[in-house]
């Protein structure tokens, strides 16, 4: 046995794996950037329909070429309470079907014979894509170039892996050693272990394809290695689930149990076939003669589709099982404050993380408005029973200001973002700070209420009425601000601007009316000072609200450029 040949083959295999992994990452990140809006829309449609969930998972995974990314994204949604465990389960089922697309593409690239192989033709896309990425001026063209380059590199890596397998196949010692590994359970374990190490079932399946095509292993050995890769692929989900909430851990366990169930069922079916001197290899060799790459690729698809068909009716039972296996944590164990809609695992899918940032900012806005209401109520009624809740939410706003800005900084560094998403993120820093300032002004109003209470004074009935009317105007403003911000609605922004001007006029009339009341002796100078400060702070709250809505204009400014 030639040691030099073995070392060369091992190094070539490692090089092929490296290129293949980089290619998968390039394709995934650029496909996400190109389809960010559609991707966000797709995953927002998850509903109670099981088939729709499977379809979303399959299409989403096929679109971004990463079942791991889809699974992590799903875990993030469950953790945020956006979808239920049952919905998450069906999306994960679909992700297992979507990931088979990579194996089909790789198998297609292995045809060729005496003519120029499809693998070489597809590899040429790497050069075309690289030129496009380097010299194109439009960001959309650069993204398309990245997709082409990743697609081409996929086959460059495949060629390197196939070449190393051919070298191994020429070594009798290696072939003899591999021929001895016929135990299906051992092959499944080897496939799971290798996939867990490299965290890519696509690479494991592609290596198995190359080994089968070069004759290094038989089709049945390749089948069991591929089945094992399905179990190994759960490692990514387990890592994401362990670092998240209870439902996230349950989702990761659903993924593991689902994939293990499929392998167990097919292992039992394979044993039953053996009683009739049949095997999966025999069956697929008859279906796809003289095409070992298609035999394995089609089994991979068949395995995942059948597993989904068998497990789909049992989704409710599976969810009930994992809920018992992973009980709800005690609330005392949870942190006092947390971001509900985003976490670091979502950074694997930046376009969807952007949509979740918007949800988190809207949640922050709701908390700020609620604290403003509490502060005005304390000022009018001098009832401080809600002050503990006010102080808790003020700390929550400060926490969100710090943590959400830090998250946006990390998210902005991701490459898989479209121009519109980057423009949106650039405006979030000010929006977050504007909302935190609303909390600060509400805190000022509570201080004014405290001064009145300590001096045993209160606002007149006229002043209380004016404050209540001001609160109604601010609520009208808030509704239109959120409509504009959430839906990028310029008409809502126009309405918000009109209401903000109305608030400016109203606060001026409030100040003028209160001065008249002080002159008549209805209010004392001390009460008047607190009232004028309250009016001024409420007007500033409106200013910060309208600033949040105004970020919509920058998003619309990117559209003409994107269409050119």
The span from the CA of 122 to the CA of 247, in Å, is 42
The span from the CA of 530 to the CA of 293, in Å, is 80
**pLDDT tens, position by position, 334-353:** 456 788 888 777 777 787 78
**pLDDT tens, position by position, 390-412:** 999 999 999 999 999 999 999 98
**pLDDT tens, position by position, 93-106:** 998 898 888 888 87
The span from the CA of 140 to the CA of 382, in Å, is 58
Percent of the chain with pLDDT over 90: 35
Return the closest-CA partner of residue 201 out of 168, 153, 238, 236.
Answer: 236
pLDDT of residue 41: 60
CATH classification code of 346-563: 1.20.58.220
The phi-psi region of residue 172 (left if phi > 0; otherwise alpha if psi is between -120 and 50; otherwise beta) is: alpha
Return the closest-CA partner of residue 445 out of 498, 394, 502.
Answer: 394
- Answer whether residue 560 shows pLDDT above 60: no
In this prediction, residue 333 has a pLDDT band, given cuts at 50, 70 and 90, of very low
**pLDDT tens, position by position, 355-373:** 889 989 999 999 999 999 9
Dihedral (C-alpha) 29, 35, 38, 41: value to the nearest 10 degrees?
20
CB contact at 8 A, 370 and 302? no
**pLDDT tens, position by position, 117-126:** 566 777 888 8
What average pLDDT score do residues 254-276 get? 92
pLDDT of residue 242: 67
Among 34-43, 56-65, 92-101, 233-242, which is the least confidently predicted range? 34-43
pLDDT of residue 34: 62
In this prediction, residue 559 has a pLDDT band, given cuts at 50, 70 and 90, of very low
Unique residue bearing structure tokens 């809920």: 323
Cα 545 to chain centroid distance, Å, stands at 28
Among 142-146, 216-220, 375-379, 441-445, which is the least confidently predicted range? 142-146
Q: Look at residue 458 and give its three-state secondary structure.
A: coil
For 108, list phi and psi in degrees, rounded to 5: -60, -35
- Answer whether residue 287 shows pLDDT above 60: yes
CB contact at 8 A, 118 and 110? yes
Is 257 or 244 the better-scoring residue by pLDDT?
257
Q: Look at residue 218 and give its three-state secondary structure.
A: coil
> CB count, 10 Å around CB of 427?
18
Q: Where are the alpha helices (DSSP H) in 99-200?
A: 100-108, 118-123, 125-135, 139-169, 172-179, 184-198
In this prediction, residue 194 has a pLDDT band, given cuts at 50, 70 and 90, of confident
The span from the CA of 389 to the CA of 554, in Å, is 36
CB contact at 8 A, 375 and 530? no
Unique residue bearing structure tokens 């898989």: 416
Most confident of 157-171, 185-199, 242-256, 317-331: 185-199
Query: Counting Cβ atoms within 10 Å, is residue 355 exposed (0-12), middle (13-18) or buried (19+)?
Result: buried
Instruction: Supply the pTM of this predicted model.
Output: 0.66
pLDDT of residue 561: 41
For 200, list phi and psi in degrees, rounded to 5: -155, 110
In this prediction, residue 513 has a pLDDT band, given cuts at 50, 70 and 90, of confident
Q: Which residues of the chain does CATH 1.20.58.220 include?
A: 346-563
What average pLDDT score do residues 191-218 get? 83
């Amino acid at each position: 046995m030639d040691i030099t040949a073995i070392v060369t083959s091992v190094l070539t295999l490692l090089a092929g794996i490296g290129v293949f992994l980089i290619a998968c990452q390039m394709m995934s990140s650029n496909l996400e950037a190109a389809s960010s809006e559609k991707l966000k829309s797709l995953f927002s449609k998850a509903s109670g329909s099981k088939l729709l969930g499977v379809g979303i998972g399959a299409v989403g995974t096929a679109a971004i070429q990463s079942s791991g990314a889809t699974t992590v994204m799903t875990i993030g949604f469950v953790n945020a309470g956006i979808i239920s465990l049952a919905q998450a389960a069906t999306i994960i089922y679909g992700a297992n079907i979507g990931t088979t697309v990579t194996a089909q593409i790789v198998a297609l690239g292995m045809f060729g014979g005496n003519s120029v192989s499809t693998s070489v033709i597809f590899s040429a896309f790497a050069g075309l894509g690289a030129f496009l990425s380097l010299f194109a001026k439009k960001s959309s063209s650069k993204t398309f170039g990245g997709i082409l380059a990743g697609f081409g590199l996929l086959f460059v890596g495949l060629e390197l892996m196939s070449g190393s397998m051919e070298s191994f196949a020429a070594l009798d010692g290696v072939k003899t050693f591999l021929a001895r590994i016929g135990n299906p359970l051992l092959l499944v374990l080897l496939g799971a272990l290798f996939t867990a190490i490299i965290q890519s079932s696509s690479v494991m399946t592609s290596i198995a394809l190359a080994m089968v095509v070069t004759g290094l292993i038989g089709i049945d050995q390749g089948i069991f290695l591929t089945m094992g890769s399905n179990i190994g692929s759960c490692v990514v989900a387990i890592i994401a689930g362990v670092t998240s909430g209870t439902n996230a851990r349950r989702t990761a366990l659903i993924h593991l149990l689902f994939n293990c169930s499929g392998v167990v069922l097919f292992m039992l079916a394979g044993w039953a076939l053996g009683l009739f001197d049949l095997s999966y290899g025999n069956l697929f060799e008859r279906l796809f003669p003289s095409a070992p790459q298609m035999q394995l690729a089609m089994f991979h698809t068949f395995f995942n589709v059948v597993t989904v068909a068998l497990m789909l009716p049992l989704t409710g039972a599976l969810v009930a099982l994992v809920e018992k296996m992973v009980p709800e944590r005690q609330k005392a164990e949870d942190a006092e404050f947390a971001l509900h809609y985003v976490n670091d695992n979502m950074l694997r899918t930046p376009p969807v993380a952007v949509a979740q940032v918007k949800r988190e900012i809207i949640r922050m806005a709701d908390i700020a408005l609620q604290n403003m209401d509490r502060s005005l109520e304390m000022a009018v009624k001098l009832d401080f029973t809600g002050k503990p809740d006010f102080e808790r939410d003020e700390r929550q706003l400060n926490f969100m200001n710090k943590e959400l800005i830090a998250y946006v900084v990390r998210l902005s560094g991701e490459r898989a973002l479209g121009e519109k998403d980057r423009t949106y993120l650039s405006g979030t820093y000010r929006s977050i700070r504007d909302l935190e300032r609303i909390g600060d002004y509400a805190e000022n109003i509570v201080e004014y209420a405290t001064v009145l209470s300590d001096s045993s004074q209160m606002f007149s009935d006229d002043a209380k009425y004016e404050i209540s009317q001001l609160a109604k105007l601010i609520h009208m403003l808030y509704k239109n601000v959120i409509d504009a911000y959430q839906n990028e609605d310029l008409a809502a922004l126009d309405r918000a601007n009109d209401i903000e001007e109305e608030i400016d006029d109203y606060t001026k009339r409030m100040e003028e009316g209160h001065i008249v009341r002080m002159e008549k002796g209805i209010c004392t100078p001390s009460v008047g000072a607190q009232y004028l400060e309250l009016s001024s702070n409420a007007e500033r709250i409106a200013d910060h609200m309208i600033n949040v809505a105004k970020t919509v204009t920058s998003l619309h400014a990117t559209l003409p450029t994107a269409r050119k």
